[in-house]
Amino acid sequence: MPQSSTTTAGDRQLAFLSGGGELGRLIAAFDWASTSIGPLEGWPQSLKTAVSLILRSNVPIVMLWGEDGVMIYNDGYSQFAGGRHPRLLGSKVREGWPEVADFNDNIMKVCLGGGTLAYRAQELTLNRTGRPEQVWLDLDYSPILDESGEPAGVVAIVIETTARVAVERWRAGERDRQRQMFEQAPGFMAMLTGPQHVVELTNAAYMQLVGHRDIIGLPVRQALPEIEGQGFFELLDRVYSSGEAFIGYALRAELQRTPGARIEDRFIDLVYQPVRNPAGDVFGIFVQGVDVTDRLIAEQALRQSETQFRTFAEAMPNHVWTATPQGLLDWFNPRVYDYSGAKPGALDGHGWGDIVHPDDVVAAAQKWQQGLASGAFYETEFRLRRHDGVYRWFIARAVPIRDTDGAILRWIGTNTDIDDQKQVAQALLQSERRLQLSQNAAGIAALELDIATGTVVGSEGFWGLWGLSPRDSVHISVLENIVIPEDKDVRSTPQTRMQGTATPAVEYRIRRPDTGELRWLSRHIDFVRDETGKPIKMFGVMQDVTDRREAQARQELLTHELEHRIKNILAMVAAIASQTLRNTDIATASATFNERLRALANAHDILNKTRWTSASIREVVDNTIAAFPVGQISVSGPALPINPKMALTLALAVNELATNALKYGALSTAQGKVDIEWSLRPSKDEPDDTRLIWRWRESGGPPVTPPSRRGFGRFLIERVFGTDFGGAVEIDYRPDGVECVLNAPAPQLPTAPY
């Protein structure tokens, strides 16, 4: 800032900020009149002096002035504040750092009361960069006295130690990790100090080796007296005195591994490593080693096993070979050379491919590579050239031999001549294929049942008849579960199969699991018996005869249904006519009769669409109320199917209720409403029993009074409607509207007669 020859009063007022860096300039430009401190020109000398001091310090310092703790700080503190600078300048400390408001509140109370505070490695969570972060700080707080000697503010020296704390924690964690590694190391370790080799430290593996004795603090000769005279103490003395390490392999040691147990031989790989102090003098020995007893025993057993294997393999009539873990064949028994005419050693490595048929080499090599990659059982088939040039089929199998850790040591394989079996199997396959084609052309499937195990094997078309995906076999219980329950006894039973008395030819129904279709199957069987006459297998043929059965059933149904339907229609019309014409004038009776016949005809139309198999409750209701003020009628409920008898009765009941509502009830006024609803609900008494609740409810019509006599309509609703649904109907003549409720079992459509 350039200086004029004459220093102004403003310059003198800002002189205490001179040399204060960026914060000096920001303080000079800040509107302090908006804070509790007041304009800069009115600051007391004690405040100016304190500000001048902190601005010239390289240490992060912040001053909290007055009861509000208005923040004034230097360049060092601005770097600590991060993204909160420069907003912190002139702010109240409790508001500037809201996440530690309670902490700063305590600081203000203590220091404005004349006290001081100091914190070391204080952990706080601050939001300096837009997200919370953990920091560690060394903090020193002291009061600032005004001209009267009273505390007017607080000065805080803030040293961030986050990086140092992180390093210390990492070092502590690293030490713990190293201790854990030492303790959990698979090899045994121990630290011996002094010329007496006092045991200072051991790990779990060492304690396991020496029998879990309490040896810490004892000289090694006292800790392990049983190894006296075995040379180990002398080795320790030599390493300690010479400063030269000792390394030994498979050393025999006689140890007592459990308290009170007998002495046993162990073999160990061992290192005695001298440990020196900063002056270079040996003050201890680090012991490290591995108990290799089990490995040595395994290696010896492996050598014995290898000898036995070679002797056995050379005597075998089959081809026997071995391979390295990488898959290179390295040994063949004499049978391979006798068969191929190759010279010993000529087939090693990749040479075996020379005697494989050219068309089979690629597939055989790929299969071998897959076996090597998976480390699993290997099996394949290929043709091998005989010494006379003839190729014969062989099946090759190999298994990996692993060590105790699961690593593959080698592969052992065999080649077995299956050429004769292949020829027979090919001829049999062709014969079976011709038979299968013949059966498929005739729509016939074959089956074979093992009576003892219940296993069923079927021909190519057998599984399709049963609606199952192709498979090798299935237990007979799977097929029995597909048969319609009422037809199960028609088939064979476990007893009749065991006795061989099952009916030879039967027809029964199944429910295909793939499509849900109901199908008729025709089955013819015969038994294969043992020398005592006991049935052991059941053979049979099957055919789907659904089309024939359906044609027969349709013919019979047409005759019976026509006869039955005409009788039912005539009976219902006669009942309607008889009840309608009773005790009424001819004009009224005629209108009522026609209306009831219309409802009956509508129901017939619905049933004709489904060939009199079923009708939907919703469709019956909608068609019946179509002749009434449908704008006043609401209908809700699922599209449940019901049988023809239920449909006709429901149509007549809805027609009766609607006719009465139109004459006397809710439909006789424009404000009236009718709600028709139904649903399936669990029974209150029996949770597994599902009930149909059908409800007619009127509202908004003229007041209702119960009728003085019971007419045909009420009889039809209460008796016929309820009976045909297998339930009960209640009609409640409430003053605000008639309510009719049907409570019946959930409708169950009958199965087709065929």
pLDDT band of residue 441 (cuts 50, 70, 90) is: low
DSSP codes, 188-240? EEEEEETTTTEEEEE-HHHHHHTTS---TTSBHHHH-GGGTTSSHHHHHHHHH
Lowest mean pLDDT among 311-320, 400-409, 452-461: 311-320
The pLDDT of residue 679: 93
Residue 345 confidence (pLDDT) above 60: yes
Q: Give SS3 for 41.
A: helix
Strands 673-682 and 633-636: parallel
Tell me the helices (H) and strands (E) count for the chain, helix number first.
23, 28
The pLDDT of residue 438: 59
For residue 398, the 8-state DSSP code is E
Q: For Cα atoms 321, 324, 330, give the angle at the middle one, nearest 5 degrees.
A: 45
Peptide bond into 86 cis (omega under 30): yes
Per-residue pLDDT tens for 367-406?
999 999 998 889 999 999 999 999 999 999 999 989 888 8
The pLDDT of residue 720: 81
Query: CA–CA separation, 627 vs 618, rounded Å?
Result: 16
Per-residue pLDDT tens for 150-164?
999 999 999 999 888
Phi, psi of 52 (to 5 degrees): -60, -40
Query: CA–CA separation, 667 vs 588, rounded Å?
Result: 19
The pLDDT of residue 234: 92
Q: 675: how many CB neighbours lie within 10 A of its CB?
A: 16
Query: CA–CA separation, 579 vs 572, rounded Å?
Result: 11
- 254's CB contacts (< 8 A; 6+ apart) are 226, 227, 230, 263, 264, 265, 266
Q: Give SS3 for 283.
A: strand
Q: Residues of the chain with pLDDT > 70: what percent? A: 84
Per-residue pLDDT tens for 35-72?
999 999 899 999 999 999 999 999 999 999 999 999 99
The residue with greater pLDDT, 612 or 14, is 14
pLDDT band of residue 29 (cuts 50, 70, 90) is: very high
Lowest mean pLDDT among 310-324, 599-613, 708-722: 599-613
Between the CA atoms of 459, 462, 464 and 467, what dihedral angle is there, to the nearest 10 degrees? -140
Query: What is the mean predicted confidence (pLDDT) over 122-146?
Result: 93
For 642, the token pair is 């019901």
Query: CA–CA separation, 51 vs 74, rounded Å?
Result: 8
CA 333 to chain centre: 51
The pLDDT of residue 115: 95
Per-residue pLDDT tens for 410-437?
899 999 989 988 888 787 777 666 666 6
All structural domains of the chain: 9-166 (3.30.450.20), 185-291 (3.30.450.20), 301-417 (3.30.450.20), 435-544 (3.30.450.20), 585-745 (3.30.565.10)
Residue 311 confidence (pLDDT) above 90: no
Burial class (CB in 10 A: 0-12, 13-18, 19+), 149: exposed
Residue 742 confidence (pLDDT) above 90: yes
CB 701 within 8 Å of CB 672: yes
Residue 173 confidence (pLDDT) above 70: no
For 322, the token pair is 């071995």
Lowest mean pLDDT among 202-206, 280-284, 553-557, 689-693: 553-557
Query: CA–CA separation, 272 vs 277, rounded Å?
Result: 17
pLDDT band of residue 595 (cuts 50, 70, 90) is: low
Query: CA–CA separation, 603 vs 649, rounded Å?
Result: 9
Query: What is the mean predicted confidence (pLDDT) over 445-458?
Result: 89
DSSP codes, 425-454? HHHHHHHHHHHHHHHHHHTEEEEEEETTTT
CB 600 within 8 Å of CB 648: yes
Q: Give SS3 for 704.
A: coil
Per-residue pLDDT tens for 693-720?
999 999 999 999 888 777 667 877 888 8
Query: What is the mean predicted confidence (pLDDT) over 554-561?
Result: 54
**Buried/exposed code over 551-577 (b: 16+ C-beta within 10 A; e: otherwise):** eeeeeebeeeeeeeeeeeeeebeeebe
For 328, the token pair is 């290179």
The pLDDT of residue 79: 93
Query: What is the mean predicted confidence (pLDDT) over 211-215?
Result: 77
- 41's CB contacts (< 8 A; 6+ apart) are 13
For 463, the token pair is 């599984």
Per-residue pLDDT tens for 490-544?
677 888 888 888 888 888 898 999 988 899 988 888 888 988 889 989 888 888 8
Long-range contacts of 459-467 (CB under 8 A, 24+ apart): 460/436, 461/436, 462/542, 465/519, 465/521, 465/542, 465/543, 465/544, 466/510, 466/512, 467/510, 467/512, 467/513, 467/514, 467/515, 467/517, 467/519
Q: Residues of the chain with pLDDT > 90: what percent? A: 41
pLDDT band of residue 749 (cuts 50, 70, 90) is: low
Query: CA–CA separation, 669 vs 661, rounded Å?
Result: 9
pLDDT band of residue 561 (cuts 50, 70, 90) is: very low
Query: CA–CA separation, 672 vs 703, rounded Å?
Result: 11
Query: What is the mean predicted confidence (pLDDT) over 198-225?
Result: 84
Average pLDDT over the chain, rounded to an integer: 84
Expressed in angstroms, the distance from the first to the final Cα of the chain is 112
Q: Give SS3 for 615.
A: strand
For 102, the token pair is 């309670």
